[in-house]
Amino acid sequence: HGTIPDTIGRLTNLKELILYDSGLSSTIPPSFFQATSLTEVQLSGNSLTGTLSSAVGHLTNLRILGLGSNELRGFLPEELSQLTGLQQLNLRLNALTGDIPDVFGNLKQLQELLLNDNVLFGTLPPTMFQLSNLSWLAINDNRLNGGVPNDVGLLSNLQGLEVQHNRFRGVLPVQLAVLDKLRVVDVSHNFFTGTVPTTLAGLPLLAHLSLDHNRFQGEVSLSLCDMTVDGGPLVRLEADCSEISCTCCSRCYNVD
């Protein structure tokens, strides 16, 4: 319990700071960003307030930055682009706002990007789809709009795509079908249109596909349904059965 002391910046050899769920409150002191040897920061699950300072760019040795489940506000600093060795970025469950900055071109090592449950808006930045090592992308429960671009097919290591509860429009890109490591795809509660790509049936590990509360038409293909039977991988398939035909959904919604 308590606050992060101002003296933390004097710990110039400090490598790891693991204080999640520790009852910390108040803001992150400016001196924190002088501890430039840090490789891992885990401060999730506290009550930290204020903004994420642009001085975060000084922590160039960071591999893991965990600030989820706090009360941080303000914009995502563009200086995140200076953390070129970052592998995990967890800023979920805060009150961060504004556009997602186009900072990902330098973050080639990033494997997990968790920005869900904030107040982010705008469209997805192009460099987000240059993250070829990314395994999990969670941007759900924001106010993001536009579409999911065809370049999503470049995320060749992606296992989880969570974009639910936003304001995305357009069709689902057929390039999702080349992401053969995908296990979870949740696009529910958006404004997607068109048909459900039959090519999703070619994803050998797909276990969870949520399509509900959108504006899809047509039907869920028999090839997708085949993935739900005889020990197939697809154990959770959700759709608006009042709008599209689905004979094998594990959960059907009737959306007015």
On the question of pLDDT at 256 being above 80, the answer is no
Q: What are the residue ranges of helices labelled H in the chain?
A: 222-226
Tokens 């920061």, located at residue: 41
Q: What is the pLDDT of residue 1?
A: 78
On the question of pLDDT at 105 being above 70, the answer is yes
**Residue 228, φ and ψ in degrees, nearest 5:** -95, -5
Distance of CA 221 to the CA centre of its chain: 28
CA atoms within 13 A on the CB side of 20: 14
Distance of CA 64 to the CA centre of its chain: 15
Determine the Cα–Cα distance for residues 45 and 174; give it in Å rounded to an integer. Answer: 37
Kindly indicate the confidence band of residue 230, based on its pLDDT and cuts at 50, 70 and 90.
confident
Q: What is the pLDDT of residues 118-164, one digit of tens each?
A: 999 999 999 999 999 999 999 999 999 999 999 999 999 999 999 99
Per DSSP, the three-state class of 14 is: coil
On the question of pLDDT at 67 being above 90, the answer is yes
On the question of pLDDT at 255 being above 80, the answer is no
Q: Work out the average pLDDT over 103-132.
A: 96
**Residue 33, φ and ψ in degrees, nearest 5:** -85, 5
Closest CA to 134 of 102, 186, 87: 87
Q: What pTM does this model have? A: 0.96
All domains in the chain, ordered by first residue:
6-146 (3.80.10.10)
Tokens standing for residue 196: 């459900």
Q: What is the pLDDT of residues 166-204, one digit of tens each?
A: 999 999 999 999 999 999 999 999 999 999 999 999 999
